[in-house]
């Protein structure tokens, strides 16, 4: 089992552990100082198991960053998870998506797809609106959008082509959404962000957040602000850059209700 697989298995356990407290249409996130919080992760319903339904060991320590070097440049080509996924959601508009990983990134498309499924399915995912259904389709199938996991340099090029500059201090940092493309920066996928690590927010939680945040943009949602110190951060808040006194939260729905903050 690879490192990515081990991280996927930690999703259910990591989120369950943190589960009863308190995410520009295509915009890059703006730098602001992170605010410390006494409680690092908002609690809520644990996600249902992904397609690779294997129970995580309750004694497994949380992972905050993936070990090993992170390639900053890949081959510029992508491999797809060529399976069809489960139908997520019970009613509403159907949106079909693909999952692709840059060749040379060192990540398995099937394992990445399992995390994407967990994020979108919830409980707490976008389909909890009751007005949306999502389903993964193979790489060659008709689709509405694609979730790409790309090395930092490739992500920067793809985002810039879509009108988004993800650089901070001259280096690619954030992820983005471009029309029909949810582009996740491999650096963030492997390393999370400093304030999450300092607050001991598991990497699995950051991955759920970044998928739901960027897919949220694809679904038409814009950035939001922290609604108050100590409360869960809305998933459309730019948690990659700051928490502003809020508590890390990867879910757009909490208790079956859309959870949001003041608009930016």
Looking at residue 46, its pLDDT comes to: 40
Reported confidence tier of residue 127, pLDDT bands at 50, 70, 90: very high
Per-residue pLDDT tens for 43-76? 554 443 333 322 344 578 999 999 999 999 999 9
Q: Please give the Cα distance from 189 to 145 (Å, whole number).
A: 19
Mean pLDDT for 29-39 is: 35
Looking at residue 30, its pLDDT comes to: 34
246 near 229, Cβ under 8 Å?
yes
Looking at residue 7, its pLDDT comes to: 44
105 near 71, Cβ under 8 Å?
yes
The three-state secondary structure class of 61 is: coil
Per-residue pLDDT tens for 137-173? 999 999 999 999 999 999 999 999 999 999 999 999 9
Mean pLDDT for 7-12 is: 41
Looking at residue 19, its pLDDT comes to: 33
Mean pLDDT for 246-264 is: 97
Token pair in block for residue 205: 């939680």
Mean pLDDT for 241-247 is: 98
Mean pLDDT for 5-17 is: 41
Q: Could you say which DSSP state residue 87 is in?
A: P
pLDDT above 60 for 89 = yes
| Better-scored residue on pLDDT, 236 or 22 | 236
Looking at residue 212, its pLDDT comes to: 98
Per-residue pLDDT tens for 105-115? 999 999 999 99
Looking at residue 11, its pLDDT comes to: 41
pTM: 0.82
Per-residue pLDDT tens for 165-201? 999 999 999 999 999 999 999 999 999 999 999 999 9
Looking at residue 12, its pLDDT comes to: 37
- State the Cα angle at 83 between 78 and 86, rounded to 5°: 125
Q: Please give the Cα distance from 236 to 216 (Å, whole number).
A: 7
Looking at residue 3, its pLDDT comes to: 45
Q: Domains of the chain: which residue ranges?
A: 3-49+72-254
């Amino acid at each position: 089992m690879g490192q990515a697989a081990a991280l996927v298995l930690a999703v259910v356990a990591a989120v369950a552990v943190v589960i009863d407290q308190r995410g520009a249409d295509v915009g890059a996130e703006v730098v602001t100082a992170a605010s410390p919080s006494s409680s690092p992760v908002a609690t809520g319903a644990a996600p249902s198991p992904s397609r690779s339904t294997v129970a995580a060991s309750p004694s497994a320590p949380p992972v905050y960053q993936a070990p090993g070097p992170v390639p900053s440049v890949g081959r510029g080509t992508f491999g797809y998870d060529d399976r069809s996924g489960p139908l997520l959601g019970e009613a509403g508009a159907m949106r079909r998506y693909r999952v692709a990983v840059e060749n040379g990134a060192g990540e398995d498309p099937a394992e990445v797809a399992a995390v994407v499924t967990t994020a979108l399915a919830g409980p707490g995912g976008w389909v909890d609106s009751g007005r949306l259904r999502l389903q993964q389709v193979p790489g060659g199938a008709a689709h509405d959008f694609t979730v790409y996991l790309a090395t930092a340099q490739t992500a920067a090029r793809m985002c810039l082509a879509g009108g988004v500059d993800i650089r901070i201090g001259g280096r690619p940092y954030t992820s983005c959404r471009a029309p029909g493309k949810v582009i996740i920066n491999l650096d963030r996928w492997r390393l999370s962000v400093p304030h999450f690590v300092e607050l001991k927010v598991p990497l699995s939680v950051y991955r759920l957040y970044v998928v739901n945040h960027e897919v949220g943009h694809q679904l038409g949602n814009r950035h939001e602000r922290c609604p108050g110190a100590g409360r869960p951060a809305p998933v459309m808040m730019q948690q990659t850059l700051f928490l502003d006194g809020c508590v890390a939260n990867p879910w757009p729905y909490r208790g079956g209700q859309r959870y949001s903050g003041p608009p930016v």
